Amino acid sequence: AQKITQTQPGMFVQEKEAVTLDCTYDTSDPSYGLFWYKQPSSGEMIFLIYQGSYDQQNATEGRYSLNFQKARKSANLVISASQLGDSAMYFCAMREGGIDSGYALNFGKGTSLLVTP
């Protein structure tokens, strides 16, 4: 079963506008972490933001914020004031389980974001 679901294959946003990328997850583990990565066309994976399952406040990193709704099991990424350089693939990922799992990340299939002038 898919543990991370990103329902938006592609999104458009106009420069300087805000955009929300959706992510829902599935786990029965009370201790987990949620991550967002950006992948530009060059292929590298760039870490953006992280949210722990016990964190009380939503994470923020500059123009990125994570809208964490634990009861709904959603962890949406909000990008404010979009820039042309934000055009990329965005992946939501989850880490769960004990140390035997190696704390490997499970990834969603990604959302392609295109920022237009």
Partner 1 sequence: DGGITQSPKYLFRKEGQNVTLSCEQNLNHDAMYWYRQDPGQGLRLIYYSQIVNDFQKGDIAEGYSVSREKKESFPLTVTSAQKNPTAFYLCASSPLTGTARSGNTIYFGEGSWLTVV
Q: For partner 1, which stretch binds (CB under 8 A), given 10-18, 33-41, 66-74, 80-88?
A: 33-41
User: Does residue 68 bind partner 1 (CB under 8 A)?
Assistant: no
Q: For partner 1, which stretch binds (CB under 8 A), given 13-21, 60-68, 74-82, 92-100?
A: 92-100
User: Does residue 91 bind partner 1 (CB under 8 A)?
Assistant: yes
The amino acid at residue 90 is Y
Radius of gyration, CA atoms only, the chain: 14
| Cβ-based neighbours of 19, under 8 Å, separated by 6 or more | 11, 13, 78, 79, 82, 113
User: Does residue 35 bind partner 1 (CB under 8 A)?
Assistant: yes
User: Does residue 70 bind partner 1 (CB under 8 A)?
Assistant: no
- Segment (H or E) for 94: strand 88-96
CB of 117 to partner 1, least distance (A): 27
Q: Interface with partner 1 by CB under 8 A: which residues?
A: 4, 9, 29, 31-33, 35, 37, 42-45, 47, 50, 52-54, 91, 93, 95-99, 101-110
